Chains A and B, each alone.
Chain A
């Protein structure tokens, strides 16, 4: 990837980010006034009005926007109403947890999908293929909320080999990772299997076989390299989704990630927190998109030439 191409992508990303943040600014304010959530029900109208003034919510939205714009230029995301700390600090504490959780889950899902999808394609029509198909379709369909609770029931409550929930050493990551990777694994197995079937029937594979290439090389070097591209695209999409947090998994397992933070921020009308969260997630998604592009270029020479 050339420096010029990277610079061009960055400029476009910054423009998109600015547009996104402006849209978020107005959209969160459409969700209503947060003041009632932050005062007791018995609070007087005077107290509510005083809080609106303190938060600047008594100003017309356009003036609030100008104030906010000035803050954003200084990368000042304001104070989280709920946490009473700088919003960006709250977000940056949670974001690495979510990124780590998503990265581990996706890596295992991708690796497993490449392996099992390839096996299913090579053994297409056999009982192995059918079993892999069944398991992957089940995995792609299962709701992660249900899966999470079932895993807790089986592995924590019944077998007592894993904790129910929480955050700490490696043992606390097993169930959240397992629940988060299930659907991507199921989806990616189907994609890899389908792409591999197509690739294995392609002319270049017949040529490789005709030239006497070993079966393993044909499958895992020639065919797989072509079949992986759709899987990488989908994985990139999934990574972008995971960057925003596996909210359900985080809620079920009490995992202190950005998904739960964002859900709570929206429910609590914590404008600063929502804006800071979306900003950080957007940056991560941009980085993921660049990484996917680079991976494409590494795998497919045609992309390198186009770039």
Chain B
């Protein structure tokens, strides 16, 4: 080797070595599992599992519930409770699993469940609990013995176990008067660290009562951009990335699955001209749903006629999907106009930015279809807070006629989790006031078995076919990018639950 070669070679080699050393964190194979989601959890308090970014970290990882719901059919499966029965009309009894401890070593028992329930329902704490109507119906608890708890309700509640699938149980030491950032549960993982703004780290819990998870260490990180989340799996920085937008989900590692959401437009049918059923029918006929599939919505999205999936108890399979018939839509508008209905009144199409991928584009397309059919429609995209102000009562008295972009999910498996708040006169997001429908939903909520199913099916028919309160769009499909190095199949609950126990490296 000549002196000249040495003179240039040594620095070059140094630079190359330095570059390799600096680059090595990016290239190293991860021993832990890294999952990338859209946003940081807001809270890791066991009672705040309504938000998916919270529940994905907590549910069945750090904390557990008395029961779980079968993703296939919504049936109730044992978890921390092994048996349950209705002792009388207003009392349910739960037998609790023996030999379970919290991560701090304290025993899981009836007192802990009672404390967790009381805490979650406390109005002062402001828990974000995804349990429809639970605070209004729980009267109290009775500790029969350390492994037997009775829960009393104020009304007949035939599916209380289903509703308790939303209650994560934290240790009795969890502060009763403030939210905790250090959850202590019974799950297969403990919270090792919450690096604010960067990551949540979970570590396997040696004292777990069930099967040990295959993966001991998990990092959960977040990136707002779908393309970045997807790229992280490609580079090996993550093994699983959720919520990949349709335009980014173009590789063989992208798995598509139903996320239990149904997209729709809610019609404010108390304001003219939307109070005329012909106008509401015309709105539905004017939309080319087939044209939206595979272009703006996912190719595997299913046209919907009601706001729950077929797997939900109470779903009505006999409601036909709307056809696309702009001619009939125009004819209905003409007919209504001839009778003095002010069909030319401007209707506002309210959208929510980012409610689902291509949310703005979908409404731009729908607006164009409605304009083509003869409607006078103005589009207004809103961020979440002003959208919520229009979703929730009380509504402004002097409001314009409008339809509101929305999305409803039901992973609880029963129509009672969807119908009362959205389609009854007193429902806080309802724009329908039909006493007959109110009675139908109330009776269905108290019934059981075939009677319950029949009544709920009838309710869905009234909403979609008789009253036409909604413009249903699609049962939605989302995608996750999964590295070939891991074995994981997302299911319909994957939007709210990251089932780390089911994941392993190949």
What is the distance, in angstroms, from B415's C-beta to the closest C-beta of chain A? 14
B126 contacts A51, CB within 8 Å? yes
> Out of A44, A50, A51, which one reaches B428, CB within 8 Å?
A44
A154 to B232, CA, bound (A): 13
Known: A94-B197, A252-B228, A256-B198. A160 touches B135 (CB 8 A): no
B231 contacts A168, CB within 8 Å? no
B181 contacts A39, CB within 8 Å? no
B124 contacts A54, CB within 8 Å? yes
Interface segment, A30-38, A232-240, A289-297? A30-38
A47 contacts B385, CB within 8 Å? no
Chain A residues contacting B42 (CB-CB under 8 Å) are 82-83
A169 to B22, CA, bound (A): 9
Chain B residues contacting A84 (CB-CB under 8 Å) are 43, 179, 181
Known: A45-B428, A160-B26. A153 touches B123 (CB 8 A): no
A36 to B223, CA, bound (A): 25
Q: Which residues of B contact A (CB under 8 A)?
A: 19, 22-23, 25-27, 42-43, 50, 123-124, 126, 128-130, 132-133, 135-136, 179, 181, 196-198, 221-225, 227-228, 231-232, 234-235, 237, 383-386, 388-389, 391-393, 421, 428-429
Return 25 A-B CB contacts under 8 Å, by A number. Answer: A31-B385, A33-B385, A33-B389, A36-B392, A37-B385, A39-B126, A39-B128, A41-B388, A43-B428, A54-B126, A152-B231, A161-B26, A162-B26, A163-B25, A164-B232, A164-B237, A165-B237, A169-B22, A171-B22, A171-B23, A251-B224, A251-B225, A254-B223, A254-B224, A256-B196
The range of chain A's interface size is 35 or more
Chain B residues contacting A46 (CB-CB under 8 Å) are 123
B237 contacts A47, CB within 8 Å? no
A26 to B118, CA, bound (A): 37
A171 contacts B389, CB within 8 Å? no
What is the distance, in angstroms, from A163's C-beta to the closest C-beta of chain B? 4
Known: A36-B385, A269-B385. A254 touches B196 (CB 8 A): no
Given contacts A40-B128, A160-B27, 13 further A-B contacts (CB under 8 A): A31-B385, A36-B388, A37-B384, A41-B429, A42-B428, A93-B196, A93-B197, A153-B231, A156-B231, A162-B23, A171-B22, A254-B223, A267-B383
Chain A residues contacting B179 (CB-CB under 8 Å) are 84
Chain B residues contacting A93 (CB-CB under 8 Å) are 196-197
What is the distance, in angstroms, from B147's C-beta to the closest C-beta of chain A? 31
B225 contacts A252, CB within 8 Å? yes
Known: A164-B232, A267-B384. A32 touches B389 (CB 8 A): yes
**A70 in the interface, Cβ–Cβ < 8 Å?**
no
**A65 in the interface, Cβ–Cβ < 8 Å?**
no
Q: Which residues of A contact B (CB under 8 A)?
A: 31-34, 36-47, 50-51, 54, 82-85, 90, 93-94, 149, 152-153, 156-157, 160-171, 251-254, 256, 260-261, 267, 269
B43 contacts A149, CB within 8 Å? no
B228 contacts A254, CB within 8 Å? yes
Chain B residues contacting A153 (CB-CB under 8 Å) are 231
A256 contacts B232, CB within 8 Å? no
Chain B residues contacting A162 (CB-CB under 8 Å) are 23, 26
Chain A, Cβ-Cβ closest to B178: A84
A82 to B228, CA, bound (A): 24
Chain A residues contacting B393 (CB-CB under 8 Å) are 45
A170 contacts B22, CB within 8 Å? yes
